[in-house]
């Protein structure tokens, strides 16, 4: 492969003039190395492909010298991606840089990201180097990397605690050595928006060759300022932002990609800048990361959190029903979320309740609405959220807190290679008993199939979600199911220290609701027999 460095200077100037901010994603490097977020090679490749589809300009695939597996992951990603520049991290050491070069050999476009500490604290206690030694080491590293890839980025680790005059010296030397991107990271999340803006303005004025390179920010969130600091750097002329999906990363994390991208999109006129990100893929990409790492995002997380486009306050809901712009500055569809949710709870008002009932097919008159609203408020005082199934019961004059008629008497599951089996014994309020067994792809599938057979109600699973409600060995997990039955959607949820039991209870809650709301369905289409004689099938 010809790795002669192409004329990056004109590219940088054009990007700057157009206000294009490059998105440098480090989810698979800085994000993945944080405790709790480790991914295997297959997961990394899947995430890398999603990030390329999202439209990131540069993807930092890993630290090839860190381990053989990291090297292999970077090499596989480099072979696979077709449009995104693939980057490997390296210290300013020959072994690191050559390892990165080998890992990136098959990339259609490659970048080696070399870094070296520059702050007084790091020079004295970590490197034990003089200023001149730091400069010489940086130059040697950049020159070596330049011959092994298409482009070189140089990072001055702990730049925000480095003397500005010395930072100018180091960056000027790196540019002369062939670096095309200069990164001034806030490695420990120490700076403020005003300070970082002042530094980037200073660097752009004083670094030799500043007009020929792209300045980059890389901010950590130790003080909760990573996104604000990144945007301040953009305002001061940075044209690359280093960030991660969901803001994952060392300690408190990195600047969140989705927050930076949407800030630049929503406030485009203010920043006079934008990105090439397909924002409609932000939410799906965020959810993919949570699936691969098992780490959920907080409900109140900006842009991609469960509450980002949800409203419970009656005042807010009334405003949203009149005009979306009253309480939303962007559309949920713009980030890949289906629609705004008007969550019904104790803060909700009559207008939101009526709107949701009409969506469910109920149009009560004012007198009936008075009674429904009163019962709704009483129920909302007891529950965090009133679900559609509760509203259905209220509209039909039923008790939304009623249980039964089915209850679980016995539940057994067994997982084995290639699948699982489950058996359930149920009792009905009318005295009937039913017992069934079934095989499934896993214990959840097997439990659902057994409950279907025992109750005679087919349940087509459309969504299944499990989340921890507490911590520790006796933590409770909540199972939430969504199913299709007889052309309608039904939801159920239950909690238990045994997640399979929670799933079974959630499924049975759906069956019970079906029978209470459609009385004719109460009789099972199959004859039920006492437990000891009921046949078990696979």
Closest-CA residue to 512 (of 462, 463, 451, 461): 451
Instruction: Specify the pLDDT at position 17.
Output: 47
For residue 334, pLDDT over 70 is answered with: yes
Mean pLDDT of 236-256: 97
* Residue 450 and residue 438 in contact, taking contact as beta carbons nearer than 8 Å: yes
Kindly report, residue by residue over 170-194, the tens digit of the pLDDT: 999 999 999 999 999 999 999 999 9
Kindly report, residue by residue over 341-374, the tens digit of the pLDDT: 767 788 888 888 888 888 777 889 998 898 888 8
Question: What percentage of the chain carries pLDDT values higher than 70?
Answer: 89
For residue 520, pLDDT over 80 is answered with: no
Q: Is 326 helix (H, G, I), strand (E, B) or coil?
A: helix
Length of the chain: 538
Mean pLDDT across the chain, nearest whole number? 87
Instruction: Specify the pLDDT at position 5.
Output: 43
Band of pLDDT at residue 8, cut at 50, 70 and 90? very low
Q: With residue 410 as reference, give the H or E element that holds it.
A: strand 406-416
Mean pLDDT of 401-409: 80
For residue 84, pLDDT over 60 is answered with: yes
Band of pLDDT at residue 402, cut at 50, 70 and 90? low
pTM of this structure: 0.75
CA distance 488 to 448: 17
Band of pLDDT at residue 251, cut at 50, 70 and 90? very high
Give the CATH class of 15-293: alpha beta
Kindly report, residue by residue over 259-285, the tens digit of the pLDDT: 999 999 999 999 999 999 999 999 999
For residue 468, pLDDT over 70 is answered with: no
Closest-CA residue to 51 (of 219, 286, 226, 297): 286
Report the chain's C-alpha Rg in angstroms.
Answer: 29
Kindly report, residue by residue over 48-64, the tens digit of the pLDDT: 999 999 999 999 999 99
Give the start-to-end residue ranges of the domains of the chain: 15-293, 310-395, 406-522
DSSP of 94-133, one letter per residue?
HHHHHHHHHHTTT-SSEEEEEEEE-SHHHIIIII---HHH
Superfamily of domain 406-522: Alpha-isopropylmalate synthase LeuA, regulatory domain (3.30.160.270)
Higher pLDDT, 249 or 531: 249
CA distance 104 to 168: 30
Higher pLDDT, 390 or 116: 116
CA distance 523 to 530: 16
* Residue 186 and residue 218 in contact, taking contact as beta carbons nearer than 8 Å: yes
Instruction: Specify the pLDDT at position 519.
Output: 55
- The highest-confidence range among 109-123, 402-416, 455-469, by mean pLDDT, is 109-123
Q: Is 254 helix (H, G, I), strand (E, B) or coil?
A: strand
Band of pLDDT at residue 6, cut at 50, 70 and 90? very low
């Amino acid at each position: 492969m010809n790795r002669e460095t192409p004329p990056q200077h004109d590219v940088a100037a054009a990007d700057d003039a157009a206000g294009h901010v490059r998105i440098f994603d480090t989810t698979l490097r800085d994000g993945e190395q944080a405790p709790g977020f480790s991914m295997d090679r297959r997961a990394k490749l899947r995430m890398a492909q999603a990030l390329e589809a999202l439209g990131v300009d540069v993807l930092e695939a890993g630290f090839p010298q860190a381990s053989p597996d990291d090297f292999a992951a970077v090499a596989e990603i480099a072979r696979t991606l077709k449009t995104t520049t693939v980057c490997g991290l390296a210290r300013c050491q020959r072994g690191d840089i050559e390892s990165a070069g080998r890992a990136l050999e098959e990339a259609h476009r490659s970048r080696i990201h070399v870094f070296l500490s520059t702050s007084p604290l790091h020079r004295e206690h970590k490197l034990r180097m003089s200023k001149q030694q730091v400069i010489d080491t940086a130059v040697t590293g950049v020159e070596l990397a330049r011959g092994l890839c298409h482009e070189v980025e140089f990072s001055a680790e702990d730049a925000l605690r480095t003397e500005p005059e010395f930072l100018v010296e180091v960056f000027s030397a790196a540019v002369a050595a062939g670096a095309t991107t200069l990164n001034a990271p806030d490695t420990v999340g120490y700076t403020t928006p005003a300070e970082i803006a002042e530094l980037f303005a200073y660097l752009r004025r004083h670094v030799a060759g500043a007009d020929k390179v792209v300045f980059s920010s890389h901010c950590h969130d130790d003080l909760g300022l990573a996104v604000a600091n990144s945007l301040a750097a953009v305002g001061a002329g940075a044209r690359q932002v280093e960030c991660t999906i969901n803001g994952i990363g060392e300690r408190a994390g990195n600047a969140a990609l989705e927050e930076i991208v949407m800030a630049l999109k929503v406030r485009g006129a203010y920043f006079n800048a934008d990105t090439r990100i397909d924002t409609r893929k932000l939410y799906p990409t965020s959810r993919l990361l949570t699936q691969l790492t098992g780490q959920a995002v907080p409900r109140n997380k900006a842009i991609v959190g469960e509450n980002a486009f949800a409203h419970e306050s009656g005042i807010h809901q009334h405003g949203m029903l009149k005009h979306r712009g009253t309480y939303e500055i962007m559309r949920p569809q713009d980030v890949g979320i289906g629609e705004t949710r008007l969550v019904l709870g104790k803060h909700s008002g009559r207008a939101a309740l009526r709107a949701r009932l009409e969506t469910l097919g109920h149009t009560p008159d004012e007198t009936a609405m008075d009674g429904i609203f009163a019962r709704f408020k009483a129920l909302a005082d007891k529950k965090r959220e009133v679900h559609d199934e509760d509203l259905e019961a209220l509209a039909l004059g039923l008790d939304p807190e009623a249980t039964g008629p089915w209850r679980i008497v016995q539940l057994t599951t067994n997982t084995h290679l290639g699948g699982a089996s489950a058996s359930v014994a149920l009792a009905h309020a009318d005295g009937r008993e039913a017992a069934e067994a079934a095989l499934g792809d896993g214990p959840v599938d097997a439990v659902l199939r057994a409950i279907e057979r025992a109750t005679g109600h087919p349940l087509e699973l459309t969504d299944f979600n499990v989340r921890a409600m507490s911590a520790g060995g006796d933590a409770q997990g909540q199972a939430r199911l969504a199913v299709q039955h007889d052309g309608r959607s039904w939801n159920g949820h239950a909690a238990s220290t045994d997640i399979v039991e929670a799933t079974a209870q959630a499924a049975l809650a759906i069956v019970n609701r079906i029978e209470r709301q459609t009385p004719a369905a109460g009789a099972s289409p199959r004859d039920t027999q006492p437990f000891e004689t009921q046949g078990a099938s696979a």
